[in-house]
Structures are given as C-alpha cells and as structure tokens.
Chain A
Amino acid sequence: MSRARADEEEYWHSSKFRAFTFDDEDDELSQLKESKRAVNSLRDIVDDDDDDLEKVSWSGEPVGSISWSIKETASSSSSSLEGRDTSLQKGSSSYAALPKQVSSYSLSSLFKGRNRLPSLPSLSDAFSDTGVKNYAPELRRPRAEYKDYSNDWSPRDTVRRMQRGKVCSLERFRSLQDKMVLLDEAVAGHDGNVITAVLIFLKRTLRREVLFRELEVRQVALCHLIHFLKETGEQKLLLDLLRFLDRTEEVALSQYREHLNIQDVEKKREFLKGCIGLPFSAEDISHIQDHYTLLERQIIIETNDRHLAMAGQSEIFRKYPRKASILNMPLVTTLFYSCFYHYTEAEGTFSSPTNLKKTFKIPDKQYVLTALAARAKLRAWEDVDALLTTKNWLGYTKKKAPIGFHRVVEILQRNNAPVQVLQEYVRLVEDVETRLNLATKYKCHDVVIDTYRDLKDRIQLMAYKCKVERGSAEEEKINSLLSNMQIRWKN
C-alpha cells in the first residue's frame, strides 16, 4: 500500500525534499504560453522564407547530411527500390534490428570440420590463398595479399604488427612455451582484437585440456575466450571450459539461455525440464523449476482452449475471443488469463486460478490484484464482492483488501464500474483524506456526506450541497443532517 496521499503531501512539504513542481507565482506553464504567444504573433510579421536559414528537410535531416544522401542516392537508383524504402526511412536508430547475436552460422562451423579437414586454414593462410574452397566468385586477386610477409617476428613484434592491423603468421610459434609468451604479449597489449586472434590460433593448435589449464592462470585471456565463445555460439566448448573452471552457476545459466533459441514449445519444455537438474544457485533453482512448470501448464491450457474456442460451444470464448496464445507468457499474465476464462473452475483443474495460485505460491496481494482486474474487466461485480469478502469462524463476513481499498477503487473505476459498486469500496478506504478525495472525484455523494457527518464538519457539508443535484435524495440527506440538533458540529 502506498503511503496515504495526505501523509505524503504533508511529508513532502514539511521535509527537505524538493518537489519537481513549479512555483505558483512563477508558473512555468504561463511562461511557456507566453513565449508560445510571442512566437505565434511573430508568424504574421516574419515571412516564410526562412527555409534558407535551415537547410533541413521536414524530417529534420539537414540537406547534405550522410543519412539524407543515402536516401537521395538510393532512391535515384531504380533497382534498389524493392523493399529498400522501408528500411531506409527508419533512420539510424533502427539499427537495433540487426542482432548482435550470432546464431546459426558462426565461427564454430570453422572448427567443426576439424577432423575431416586435416589442414585447417589458419590466419596466415589469409595471404596465401591455397586450399580454400571458393564459394563466391573471386572477383580480383587482391594486391594486398603479397605484401608485408615475414616469418621472423619476435612475439612482441608480432603482437605490435597485429595491433597495427597487419597480419602475421603465427604458425611458427610451435612450442607451448612460445605460444604462451605470445599470448602474454598480446594480453599486455590490451588489444582485444589481437588477443582474440591469438586465442583462435591457440584453440586450434592446443589440446583442449592444455589450453584450459594455461588459461586458468591467465584471467584476462580467459575472459576473452569466454566472451568469444559466447559471441560465436560455441556452446559446447564454452560449457566444457566453464565446467573445467568449476564455474557451475555460469554453466547452468549459459545452458538455460539456450532455451531462447528454441521455437517449438514442446522442445522448449523438454529442454527446460533438463535445466532443472543444472547447478543453479539456491535462489535461482526455484525460478527455473517454476519456468518449466509454467510452460508445461500453458501447453495443456492452450491445447484445451484452442479446442474450446474452435468448437464455439463455450460462451466466454465466443463473447471474448482470445487475442493471442497463452504460450510463453509470464506467470501473472497467465493468472489473469485463467481468472478471465476459467474463474469458476474447481481447484483440481490445471487451468483454475486457485490451482495456479497454489502451484506457484502466488502471494495474496498479487492474486487479488490480478483476479480483481480480470473480473472487473468482465464487469462481474459479484465476483469482485466475493473476492474481497472474508468470513471469520463465527460466520461473520468482513470486507478485506490486501492491496488497500483505494487500489480496488482505482481498478474498478478504470473498468467503468457503476457508482453503486464503486461507492461500496470507496466507503471502505481507511484514510479519511483519501476517501474524501476518491468519493468526490467519482461522485459517490453518499460517502462524502457520511464522511463529513462523521467528521462533524458542518462547513464542508454545507459547501458540498452545491455539488449535488437540486431536489435529489442527496440534497435532502444533507438538509436533514444540517438540521439535526443531535450532532455536535465542530464548526
């Protein structure tokens, strides 16, 4: 429950906090209006030829800027039109469309063929061009291939040359010791590009166990290899490495991450099931278990409901057709769905809200909030009533809202609940100030009147009289209260 509004206000004003609001006497809005007015009035004076001043197209791209020119030159080339327009108009911000993730074809494929291809192309081969399959037309022999080639660089020189973007042969670093000197040099140079290049070379020329062992004492290089394996999607080697390092939690998370790439829900479910046994941290394991259980549950619900909806027998599905499948939705969304379509089901069925609540140990607050939203959306006010009613052991009933009645009112109001319904819950808002605010806002006259009566605030009650309709029952009520001699008004 949030701090009651009134308290908050008082606290806000009395404490050192500065509200980000505007002082009344120096109202920003009026100032903005002022400058707006000035600007507008100047339009009449100024003619329209200020286009000369800002050479900007309407989209704001300065004429002549690079992104503008791409559009210009691209659209003048006829063959580039197909499908290009849309991608161009998005502007540079749309870059996110290009994924960082490297999935299917990655560097790993280079190494998969290790056994079949005894002579694997290496970095140095980049310039000798032999034994490489040509998938694409070699349009021209690059001149660059023949320059700058020497076999005799020291590890340090090799690294420096590579840092400058020149390619060197690494093949002559044969002994393990040489290779490690080379790696240490690369690490000392801090250039990740070079470090990665050396690691690729080591990965190819060293046995896995040896590589792992050497990297264990070279943390920086190790981090680079892990990052590199992640980028290129070499999942198996990555997991082996993490296991070797005893970084079990990372192994678990890294494996779990794989589920994101699985589209088929059945396969995903199987995969998640397999994840449960992984060495997650104690806090995480219950969430992974829940993830699996949830998907399993969603598959059952989805199959049933799709069937029901298609058969057209069920009224709720006819009246409120499903907009999307429930698969892969978060738990709270699933709960909402079940409160919407399966509210009255017995606890025994998988799709019933109570069953979900129990299985996933959903806290009361969360449950009530979600159920309330779902039932209010259906305008099932009796359900709302029942949801908020508790019975004690003597059989007395009492209204209770773990989320606070002001939140109940908010939700109901958002779903256009009638005043009679709303009123009942506004009355239950504990904090007087909040109750009055809500009651006034949503025209729950009865509540306002009763509250002023309880406060013995005659002045406010009189003032409220002008807000109710002439000759209405409410007005009558106010009048009778005001003339009631029994009440000891405080003012």
Chain B
Amino acid sequence: MAAHLSSGRVNLTALREAGRRELREFLDKCAGSKAIVWDEYLTGPFGLIAQYSLLKEHEVEKMFTLKPGRLPQADVRNIIFFVRPRLELMDIITDNVRREDRGRSPQRDFHILFVPRRSLLCEQWLKEQGVLGSFIHREQYSLDLIPFDGDLLSMESESTFKECYLESDQTSLYHAAKGLMTLQALYGTIPQIFGKGECARHVANMMIRMKREFPGSQNSIFPVFDTLLLLDRNVDLLTPLATQLTYEGLIDEIYGIQNTYVKLPPEKFAPKKQGEGGKDLPTEPKKLQLNSAEELYAEIRDKNFNAVGSVLSKKAKIISAAFEERHHAKTVGEIKQFVSQLPHMQAARSSLANHTSIAELIKDITTSEDFFDNLTVEQEFMSGIDTDKVNNYIEDCIAQKHSLIKILRLVCLQSVCNNGLKQKVLDHYKREILQTYGYEHILTLNNLEKAGLLKLQTGGRNNYPTIRKTLRLWMDDVNEQNPNDISYVYSGYAPLSVRLAQLLARPGWRSIEEVLKMLPGPHFEERQQLPTGLQKKRQHGENRVTLVFFLGGVTYAEIAALRFLSQMEDGGTEYVIATTKLINGTTWIKSLMEKLEPAPF
C-alpha cells in the first residue's frame, strides 16, 4: 500500500507510521464501538495515512460525512467528529449534538478530533452554543506533513498563501515549523538551514525557538537531511502563473489532482469487455490514483508532455513483445515462467492503457488553437517581450468572456514579468475586467494587488530582465526529449524557485547576491549544532540530501524540475520536497478570489 514512500532516498514510511500510531492511540482512548463523522475535506489527506481497515481494527463501525441535521442511527458507543478547526463546521456539529435524542439508550458519547490543531476559538464557540460539555475527548491530531510520495510531503492547507500574504496570519507557518520539528524527531536534526523570504525567516526562527524551549527534543538520530531550504512563494510569484508543460503538471492544470487522485472524463476509458459494451457506458468520472507506485507513471510524470508519446509507444512495443513470448514457450518450464510473469504484464498493460487514454485527452487540449495562443503569450511575457503594453490576446479573451481565472493568470503574469504594470495599462485591464465580469470583482483585484501579483510599476524601473538574465530563467535551446536543463518543464522557462535551489547547491548564493536583493524578503543561513558523534562523514561520491520547503505552495512542474536535478549524474544533491499545498495557477488564484456566493445556509 505504501511501498512508494520508501522508494526515495529518505524513507517516508516512518512518517506515515508515526501518523498511524497517533491515530490508533486516539481511537483506543474512546473505548468501545465507534462511528466517525468526517469533515469531508479531511478524507482525502487521511486516506494517505490510513485505510478503513486500520479504523475497523479499532472498532470503527460506521462512517458518515458531516452535515447539518440529525445524526444517523448507529448502534455505537462513541461518535467521533474528525474536523478542521473552523467555525462553520462547529455550527454543524452543534446542530448534530442538539438533535441527539436524549432519551435513547444506550447513550452515545461524543468526541472531537481537531485536525491539525485544537482551536480555542472553536471550543469557545461550542461552549457558547452550550454543547462543549457534551464532548468527552477533545483532542488534536497534528497531521502537519502528509507523505504524498517517496520524495514529497504536503500540509494540504489550502489557505496558507492567502493567510500569510493577505491577512498576515502566520498560524500555518507555525504548523509548518511544527511539522519540521516532527520530521527532525524522526530523521535527525538538519544541520544547515537556508532561506529566502519573510515567511522563511519566521519558520526558521520558530524552529530555533522550539528547539531551545524543548531541550529534551535533542535527539541522537543520525541526520538524514544535510540541508533545509525554506522558500517563500512570493519570492517567485511567476512560476505558478505559467502553464505547466510536464505530463503530471498538465493533468493537474486540466483535471486537477487532489490528494494524488484525479478524476477523468470516462469516455476514453470504455469498459474492457467489448461484448457487453453499448448500453452501460460509464457516466461517472474515472478516478485514478497517481503516484510512483505505478512504474510507468513514475517514468513519464515529470517529462515534458512532448516526450511522453515516444515513451508510451516504446512501452507498447515492449509489452506486445512480452506477450508474443507465449508463442515461443514450448516446455512446461517456459510456460510456467510466462504465466508467473503474467500478473506483472497485465498490470503494465492496464497502466499503459490508462496513460495512453490520458495522453489522448490532454493532447486534444494542447493541440487546440487557444492553448497555443495562450502559451504564446505566456512565453512572450516570460522572455520579456511586450510586457509593458495592453496585450491583444488578453483583450480578445476578455471580449469572448473566457474564464476570469484565465484572464487573471495572464494579467498577473504580465505584471510580474514587468515588475508591475504602467498606470494606464493596469487601469485598462481593471476596467475591462470589471465591465465584463462584474464590478464586485474589484474585491478580488484588490486581493491580487495586496498579494503583489498585480501591481503598479513604481519608480518606472523594471528589474525583471536583470533577474531573468542573471538566473537564466529563459533558455532558447530547450530540449524537451532529452533535457539538459530544468527549463524543459515549461518549454523554455526555468522556474525561478528551482533555479535558486540549484544555485544554492552550486556554486552557492554568494554568486547571486545582487539578484537576491531584488527579490522580496531576507535571505539567510542558520546552523544547528549536532553532537560530535552525529556529524556526518561523507563517503566519496555520496550525494547530499536537501529538503526544499515551499511556503505558500508548489507546482508539479517545480517538483519535476527538482527531481530532474536529483537525477543529474554530477548533480551531487538529491531533493525531497515539502510544501503547504500542491497548487497550480488556477487553484492558487482561486484561493485569492473573494468568495462571491453567500452562504447556502
């Protein structure tokens, strides 16, 4: 089930195991049979930690989704609410508890498990409703960093960027620091910390403070990570706005990957048995899990989409050849061997079928005229062409009422690539957007301005060209099939964030001091003392391990770029990636938009 977590340089199964242990301990506190009422948002992340079987072993007999009204009948001793600490969820719980039949026997006990933190505000709220006393156990389950893959951890906290940069609420940074402390408890103290940005500085400070305040946390584990690099998302606002062009990135851009699952239109996944076909064509979306446990996916996920087709066709030939083998199997031994390989071959076949279908779906979109036009404009902006005037394509898109998020992504991209827009240009876009999509979006535009995604160019100087040239963010000769640089993930644009990581490893940030000063927030280095016995003596040729933590979100294309660096033969560094949330331009902009629909209840 979790084999893919141990495939990387750092065995993340330990982290998952720690999470499972904590969960078991809590469940055992509530003696007897139980039903869990789920905050639906949590089922995805929890699914990465534990399956139903684990819960069942601990007497969880029923599971429901949290919603207002009377709780379903269930003959269990305990009802446990698994919720995020949010006031609107407390309202639902209150409603549930109030409607509980007092006369029923046996009575059911109520408990709350807050994920990831207990909230005093929520408890106060429950108390005001007069239901706080109904809960016997009120605990927290600190699901801070969830292992997604062998080299990937996420907090799946969707509002971190907004909270940090819009509301100046650093609570999720506190959770990030907590998560890092847990990680250090399991994998040893990380001797070197580098960072860039205000939030990075905060997290490093908190880590150092936490370490000081809990001297008992000094552990004697040999450090697995050599370096921690903390990066603020607002150091690189550009990258998530561009369309990701890796296979996994495009799947996310087009269909959205949630907790490693993707839902796809079912038409291309027709049922296998031809005879039965016809009437029962699937109408529900096809849901697939995507992670490195699937061999083929691990091979193609990080490739530029243009290089995926050739891999698939090669695979097809290999599999066909393997199945052909059966004709040559003459002896019983040979046949036996063939049969023993059959399950593996069948898995490979079904995996190939799935990815061929997905690739077809994606190709329909990437070959469309609009995708091409959109990409052209993005690439113009990123390479610094015509960023200072109103763009015709954007205007056309507004006129044709393309989705507002698409427009905002492009306008923000232009703004970032021009270090802000001229007053006239900014006013023009704003006006067109408000007139076409509604004046109330002025609130969203305001949020984007506050977050620095959309701004007025001040001082009349555009420093983006300097940054682009110094960090080599635009590469003319990109090789999508056999890449030699990270810029392949955006077919020409090398993600700034990953460039920073790359340059930190070699030759070091001293070489780019000037540019670092142009980017927002401080850059810094901290060292954490290790007891003498734990200091690493590096074997010759052994790679260093760096944990890169993206505060405010990371895209799949950036992850692909870091994996590319890990695999470089003379790279010398392997990367593990952590983040507050896996994002793409669309989900990111959405998180910054003002919620315009009033509450339905």
Contact = CB atoms under 8 A, between A and B. Distances in A.
Chains A and B form a bound pair? yes
A288 B442 contact: yes
B104 to A, nearest CB: 10
Interface string A386-411: 00000000000000000100010000
Contacts of A194: 120
Interface string B85-101: 11111010010011010
Contact of A46 (B64, B132, B305, B346): B346
B343 to A, nearest CB: 6
B201 to A, nearest CB: 12
B259 interface: yes
Interface in B166-200: 167-174, 177
A126 B127 contact: yes
Interface in B349-383: 349-350, 352-353, 356-357, 359-360, 363, 366-367, 371-372, 375-376, 379-380, 383
A283 B306 contact: no
Given A60-B289, A136-B98, A78 B130 contact: no
B316 A331 contact: no
Contacts of B274: 43
Interface residues on A, range: 35 or more
Contacts of A284: 442
Contacts of A294: 439
B contact patch SS? helix
A1 B51 contact: no
B317 interface: yes
B363 A136 contact: no
Q: Which 9 A-B pairs have the closest CB atoms?
A: A60-B287, A192-B171, A80-B72, A223-B168, A38-B316, A28-B309, A69-B52, A291-B439, A31-B309
B117 A260 contact: no
12 contacts: A32-B359, A42-B323, A60-B261, A60-B263, A70-B63, A99-B598, A139-B110, A189-B174, A190-B170, A193-B85, A332-B436, A366-B399
B393 interface: yes
Given A66-B47, A192-B174, A193-B119, A16 B312 contact: no
B438 interface: yes
A28 B427 contact: no
A136 B53 CA distance: 34
Given A197-B120, A257-B443, A28 B306 contact: yes
Interface string B303-343: 00110111011011101100100100000000000000001
B446 A253 contact: yes
Interface stretch (B278-286, B530-538, B552-560): B278-286
A48 B437 CA distance: 51
B43 to A, nearest CB: 5
B67 interface: yes
Given A2-B392, A18-B491, A101-B599, 4 more contacts: A43-B274, A196-B120, A290-B434, A360-B435
A54 interface: yes
A191 B282 contact: no
A88 B38 CA distance: 11
Interface in A4-48: 8, 12, 16-22, 26, 28-29, 31-32, 34-39, 41-43, 45-46, 48
Contact of B169 (A42, A227, A331): A227
Contacts of B379: 17-18
Contacts of A110: 124, 128
A351 B470 CA distance: 56
Contacts of B480: 18
Contacts of A54: 347, 350
A259 interface: yes
A330 B131 contact: no
Contacts of B61: 73
Nearest to A90: B40
A45 B323 contact: yes
Interface residues on B, range: 35 or more
Interface stretch (B135-143, B216-224, B459-467, B562-570): B135-143
A291 B439 CA distance: 6
B118 interface: yes
A329 B308 CA distance: 44
B25 interface: no
Given A66-B43, A99-B600, A283 B91 contact: no
Given A20-B245, A160-B213, A32 B74 contact: no
Given A35-B315, A43-B272, A224 B206 contact: no
Interface string A301-330: 000000000000000000000000000111
Interface string A138-177: 1111111100000000000000101001010000000000
Given A20-B306, A26-B310, A80-B73, A35 B383 contact: no
A452 interface: no
B249 interface: no
A50 B343 CA distance: 8
A140 B109 contact: yes
B484 interface: no
A61 B287 contact: yes
Nearest to B159: A100
A458 to B, nearest CB: 32
Contact of A99 (B94, B286, B363, B599): B599
Interface string A220-231: 100110111011
A103 B43 contact: no
Contacts of B349: 39, 42, 46, 50
A376 B72 CA distance: 56
Interface stretch (B228-236, B413-421, B521-529, B589-597): B589-597
B53 A64 contact: yes
B440 interface: yes
B510 interface: no
Contacts, number: 384
Nearest to B481: A26
A contact patch SS? helix
B312 A66 contact: no
Residue of A3, A139, A257, A407 contacting most chain B CB atoms (<10 Å): A139
A74 interface: yes
Contacts of B392: 1-3
Interface in A101-155: 101-107, 109-110, 121, 123, 125-126, 129, 132-145
Contacts of A193: 85, 117-121, 171
A409 to B, nearest CB: 14
A408 B186 CA distance: 65
B258 interface: yes
A53 B350 contact: yes
Given A46-B349, A110-B128, A192-B170, A36 B263 contact: no
Contact of B87 (A36, A84, A106, A190): A106
A347 to B, nearest CB: 20
Given A35-B313, A330-B438, A74 B320 contact: no
B309 A287 contact: no
A441 B313 CA distance: 35
A31 B274 CA distance: 24
Interface string A179-193: 000000000111111
Nearest to B102: A137
A152 B45 CA distance: 40
B26 interface: no
A46 B445 CA distance: 55
A41 B366 CA distance: 27
A343 interface: no
A369 B399 contact: yes
Contact of B121 (A45, A58, A200, A331): A200
B478 A165 contact: no
A59 interface: yes
Nearest to B594: A257
Contact of B74 (A34, A77, A106, A138): A77
